[in-house]
Structure 1
């Protein structure tokens, strides 16, 4: 036999040996896999004597049939030792036991090898658990990835209690935070969602459905809608509950800025001041005690000051973490903030027949990069004292400095020329006025609106990109006003309310001398 024949014979024998070895390994693998695939989750649990208590719970609530089905599940099964400390009241109450057991089971298959970092898993009771390669919540996985024909089993060393979400925790407070709890409960509202209601019949006269009484009722919480979805299991928040003393202290700091027309304690303290405090105790994300910084930012961007020595209780919720605080010293300057009114957002104008002279412009800043929008009212035949009106809602009770920003880049030649002060040439002269809302504003003809506080006409010089602080306000045509007056040359709001603001052009009809121009008006509160 030639050298080449021996060579090819040797290679062939080698391939046969390798193939035979691979086949044996594959057969062994298939044998293990086939054996596992002949077992379902219930059988796998029942075969382990260390899981007999959990198996008994499954049978008691009917989940033995569920885990014998063809549907796929992941089960985190606590050992008998892990279940020794469970509250007997849970075991004796079928509904509570059902929620407890369901907290250990999820739809679909979750293997530890597929996790990078951590994974939030929705369980059969609607709660989410944090799953890592070695733990689920604070339980250790002692035996992982027991793969069977309808899912995977992980054995854990602790039971997984059903946690309340943040909303449930706040609603269930019994000893601390009762004033905060009372505010939250008062914000519950209910309405009928016809799409969720049961239709009893159809009204033959109107053709509209007649609903079964008590069906389709949906409850929402106005506070949660404005701050955070604290009842949502898929959200993650850090939430702060203030003790009654801390809550009262923070409300007292801001209550002076919410004086109402009726001086109602309930409105001022329990509604307006309360929301001003509680809107900023909600923080997105979870900050455990180990990584809790000295300050956080609330969902509204306000600094949340955190003194760890003031933490009197910590609660791990299903959708975050709650700290009960004996104090939380908010900065009032971040709670009572400036109001900015954009010029292009006017509510009404002197007359409705001058639309062709009203323009909303897109302009570039001096550096040419940032674009802003402003309002320009200009053109031949523009009536004298033409104004843009704005409805301002919910001004705090305090004095306000008034600032205007208007960039005069029109380069109109003013007539007549100012020979005494040439610097005023090509300027726009306009003023800002404020009036209390008592009736619909006058928006026809050339009538000046009734005002309580007037700022003098201000010269808007060409190409000045800076803000101008308006000074020396005077009283307007309303001498006795229950909401507005002038104090120290500033706008003074004496009752928490809504008002009208006007930006008015010069009292002349000469072309291009009575323009109205505004980027924004800023009202800066003077805090005391």
Structure 2
């Protein structure tokens, strides 16, 4: 069993007292300014800084600032901290970390580089101020750094996560995201100290904060990272509830245990709300953007509509748009079009007596621009008496309405002489019913005929309703114990020829078709 002895990263190694720049060395003669006190002792020894000294203790930074590591402290005077409640530990910690930086940062430092504070935020010297706070007494040399005294607090600017974590009117989004906060072992920073009786490595361990919702590839991005730049629409609690009420019917999950079904529905609905709130760039004027791509890959084409009614607020790592409403177009965000290529082998099953061949076209083929991925499947019968068919599985169908289409490639795509090769097709949609049992709906129409010399798009069904969703969310996919083999797809479309023996024997129609893809187009949800 591993021993988890938490050692914060800032205690892994002691840093010697060095200057940040040649300017520091040129500005001071250390022989004339030999320090005798640590930066902590200097703060504690100044009666005008007694409140900040107490805050350092409450925040748990006393040992750190009294150590041999090098820090610069921008200590606010008692008067500057008069309105701070020392009983609010979270606020105290935020303020203290906002006034401490690593290394020596004197007023002679390069102002253009800025100073990265202990909380990751970056501030700049600007004449007689630093980060918006007035410098009162500067460049006091300590044995382990520098003390500056400021007569006002450095204004605290929230990053995106801090904003909704600290505002009562955004508690809904904060509480949902906080469900997934955890600690993970940082192997790069942890030190192996031996092996246990089972031969497993034992670490003096460093644990780091982790939340899968912030995953770079499957989540919305690390919106708490001070070194990144984002724009985020942050819904207030009223907006969150309205969005929840609008979206939750689309995640109507069936499970034998209703409590499990409700839990899945709640998580998937909430993930849908946050899925496209974040953008990996600064959006100062939404009207200037013809389109935006969210961190989850959704493309927004009516940017002003998405940001309508919001209030812009500067964050330490980008921009916040406080929103009284979530203006999603469902078909661009959480309820996108589903396209399944015929040539996709996963989830494709041939019917009885059916042969399936995957075909492709070259870029100079006249149909290259209209055949998706320039590939399709040719479905034919192994004997003249059979009606060939193929089942295509459709993943991630929500419990909503879809217009369903099938796209077919003409017979002359590879054979210019095949100008009379057409067929009639029918469709059977299989899906899970509200009772958890599989059910089917068959669609036939005399007009479901493929054209021999041009692409054919058949509208199979309009506004077809699925009572149960069959969706696997990003958190499920991020679980290392899950794979595509664990995914059960309950929705499928069976495509088969529907040609009578008379039609076939007379050569009116063939029993062969070329399927490009199946398309599920969600019905646009016109929100109130």
- For residues 132 and 370 of structure 1, the distance between their equivalents in structure 2, rounded to whole angstroms, comes to 59
- For residues 515 and 341 of structure 2, the distance between their equivalents in structure 1, rounded to whole angstroms, comes to 8
Q: Which residue does the alignment assign to 1:284?
A: 280
Q: Which residue does the alignment assign to 1:128?
A: 121
- For residues 371 and 213 of structure 2, the distance between their equivalents in structure 1, rounded to whole angstroms, comes to 36
CA contact (8 A) 2:170 2:235 kept: yes
CA shift in 2, pair 1:153/1:223, >3 Å = closer
CA contact (8 A) 1:375 1:517 kept: no
CA shift in 2, pair 1:353/1:131, >3 Å = farther
Q: Which residue does the alignment assign to 2:443?
A: 454
Q: Which residue does the alignment assign to 1:327?
A: 325
Q: Which has the larger radius of gyration?
A: 1
TM-score by length of 1: 0.60
3-state SS in 2 of match to 1:395: coil
- For residues 208 and 463 of structure 2, the distance between their equivalents in structure 1, rounded to whole angstroms, comes to 49
CA shift in 2, pair 1:364/1:392, >3 Å = farther
Match of 2:492 among 475, 491, 500: 500
CA contact (8 A) 1:389 1:500 kept: yes
Q: Which residue does the alignment assign to 1:375?
A: 375
- For residues 433 and 115 of structure 1, the distance between their equivalents in structure 2, rounded to whole angstroms, comes to 69
- For residues 216 and 387 of structure 1, the distance between their equivalents in structure 2, rounded to whole angstroms, comes to 51
Cα deviation 1:395-452 (Å, max 9, x = unaligned): 34113242526466634377xx8xxxxxx525576665422269xxxxxxxxxx9952
TM-score by length of 2: 0.60
3-state SS in 2 of match to 1:344: coil
Correspondences of 1:15-414 after superposition (within 5 Å)? 33=27, 35=29, 39=33, 53=48, 57=53, 61=62, 75=72, 77-78=74-75, 80=77, 83-85=80-82, 87=84, 89=86, 100-108=95-103, 114=110, 121-124=115-118, 126-131=119-124, 136-139=130-133, 158-160=152-154, 165-174=159-168, 176-185=169-178, 187-188=179-180, 202=196, 220-222=211-213, 226-261=219-254, 266=262, 270-285=266-281, 291=284, 293=286, 297=292, 298-299=294-295, 300-302=298-300, 303=303, 305-308=306-309, 311=311, 318-320=316-318, 322=320, 324-335=322-333, 336-347=335-346, 348-350=348-350, 357-359=357-359, 363=363, 373-378=373-378, 385-387=388-390, 389-404=392-407, 406=409, 410-412=413-415
Q: Which moved more, 1:332-341 or 1:195-204?
A: 195-204
- For residues 206 and 173 of structure 2, the distance between their equivalents in structure 1, rounded to whole angstroms, comes to 30
3-state SS in 1 of match to 2:429: strand
Q: Which residue does the alignment assign to 1:470?
A: 458
Q: Which residue does the alignment assign to 2:474?
A: none
> Unmatched 5+ residue regions in structure 1?
1-28, 418-423, 439-448, 474-485
Q: Which residue does the alignment assign to 1:476?
A: none
CA shift in 2, pair 1:218/1:72, >3 Å = closer
Q: Which residue does the alignment assign to 2:487?
A: none
Cα deviation 1:24-66 (Å, max 9, x = unaligned): xxxxx99965626864788898999x98846984997356655
CA contact (8 A) 1:374 1:520 kept: no
3-state SS in 2 of match to 1:170: helix
CA shift in 2, pair 1:153/1:128, >3 Å = same
CA contact (8 A) 1:376 1:516 kept: no
> Unmatched 5+ residue regions in structure 2?
1-22, 471-489
- For residues 366 and 135 of structure 2, the distance between their equivalents in structure 1, rounded to whole angstroms, comes to 61
Deviation at 1:499, TM superposition (A): 0.6
- For residues 148 and 194 of structure 1, the distance between their equivalents in structure 2, rounded to whole angstroms, comes to 33
- For residues 159 and 47 of structure 1, the distance between their equivalents in structure 2, rounded to whole angstroms, comes to 18
- For residues 342 and 251 of structure 1, the distance between their equivalents in structure 2, rounded to whole angstroms, comes to 32
CA shift in 2, pair 1:219/1:183, >3 Å = same
Q: What stretches of structure 1 move > 6 A for 4+ residues in a row?
A: 40-48, 95-99, 109-113, 141-155, 196-201, 209-212, 214-218, 262-265, 351-356, 367-371, 505-510
Deviation at 1:385, TM superposition (A): 1.0
Structure with higher helix content: 1
Deviation at 1:156, TM superposition (A): 5.3
Q: Which residue does the alignment assign to 2:17?
A: none
Task: Give the root-mean-square deviation of aligned CA atoms.
Answer: 5.8
CA contact (8 A) 2:408 2:515 kept: yes
CA shift in 2, pair 1:339/1:323, >3 Å = same
3-state SS in 2 of match to 1:276: helix
3-state SS in 2 of match to 1:357: strand
- For residues 153 and 344 of structure 2, the distance between their equivalents in structure 1, rounded to whole angstroms, comes to 57
Correspondences of 1:504-523 after superposition (within 5 Å)? 504=496, 516-523=513-520
CA contact (8 A) 1:411 1:426 kept: no
Count of aligned pairs: 443
Cα deviation 1:501-526 (Å, max 9, x = unaligned): 3455687899x965553443322223
Deviation at 1:140, TM superposition (A): 5.6
